[in-house]
Chains A and B, each alone.
Chain A
Amino acid sequence: MTTTGSITSSRSLSYIALFAALMAVFGLIPKVDLPFGVPITLQSLGVMLAGCLLGPKRGFFAIALFLLAVALGLPLLPGGRGGLAVFVAPAGGFLFGWMFGAFTCGLLMRRMAGATGKGLLAAAFLSSVVGGIVVVYAFGIVGLSLVAHMSLSQAALAMLIFVPGDLIKCGICAMLVQTVMRGMPSWRLDRD
């Protein structure tokens, strides 16, 4: 029963703002450490979820709104970081990648919106791997190589350590999308 109008409608604004808020809350939830010492922050999960559940455009704007608040100085990233400094940091490329990652997630999810059951699980997992890992890391690697003057392959190698954690997040995202579709059958995945 959720009918949404154009991307600039007040209805869309509500979804965009509330997903941006979810990103902020994911930054507040204490981070979980993997056995081998790599911290998992939930915010990249928020990126995948925003893309999968809101669709490409709204997902993109939700992350953009969140990053705008961070850039204006609100301490919303894990550990209370914020301000323009985080965008010039070595991991700043990831932040830009988040927006396009959410967009890609949404684009793919919308293509496979008809899937149900295990198919839906697979579709959401595939969307989050491509959007949340491939696209986000592409931006992150370019960012790191620019800031640290490394070659692209060196930067990519340095990032490999985070991939296992992010794969787990893709799995969590897929399960969440499936749970949401069970719990809220009225939610539609085929919106733009």
Chain B
Amino acid sequence: MSLLIQTIVNGILVGGLFVTISLGFSLAFGVLDVVDFAVGEWVMLGAFAGVACVSWLGVDPIPMLPVVFVVFATLGWLVAPLIYRVRTSRYARPALMALAFTFGVATFARGTMLTSFGFDPRTVDIGVVHGTITIGSLHIPALRLAGFVFAAVATALFMGFLYKTRTGLAVRAVAQDKQNAGLMGINVKRISSLVYALYAGLTAMAGVLIGGIYSITAQDGPRYTLLAFFVVVLAGLGSVGGVLVAGLLLGVLQAVVTVYVSADYTLAIVFAVLFVILIVSPQGILRRGAA
């Protein structure tokens, strides 16, 4: 029984990070109308940025998180106009071409990192947070707790931005209806770039923590892309509220399968569930309307 509770707690703690990743991903879909295949690569690049902090600069990655955010937000700011350009282009199928574009960006990132760093797994050495916290029979690794706290703060800030500021209002307007948002004087292109930049920075920061909890290799990007897909499909593409529940569910599902079945089958079972959900309810089982 205590093993079950332990497993569920571990799952929820990691699930927080999945929420952070998927939230930006979901919003980027809503605003840009593009399913971003590069989401897992942002996680992977973030983790490698964490590795670089430790081994090249010799500083702990946790205080460097804001720097990671700025660097990746800048990268995202640079990529976003290209996606926007393809999405609004005069091609026959702009949505599919934009999908192919992000796929190309993801493949480029993976190939470059594989060439530079090879296939060796790496772990981000986070020295500031270590050890375990024991509550009764529960053993909580401090790093996972830190990851969850980070995710909670990041999510709260993000939601605050989305629902309490005028720019957030503009973002939600664009996600609902681009044409009318444009008519209301919102610069759709700039909002799209802003959202993509925020999402890239946020995802990379989560990547640093994921790289501390699990080891990561340069080819792990697609794995996290699929996990992010799982969350947003469960939540319904474009639904922000559902992501909170779905991300935590994924964390628990992954932890339970790893402990009670086998780590070899984690992805297979996650995919099987994803597949069934897509067929039974393509709009997501938690959907309660878009943001």
Pairing of A with B: no
**Interface residues in chain B, defined as those with a beta carbon under 8 Å from any beta carbon in chain A:** none
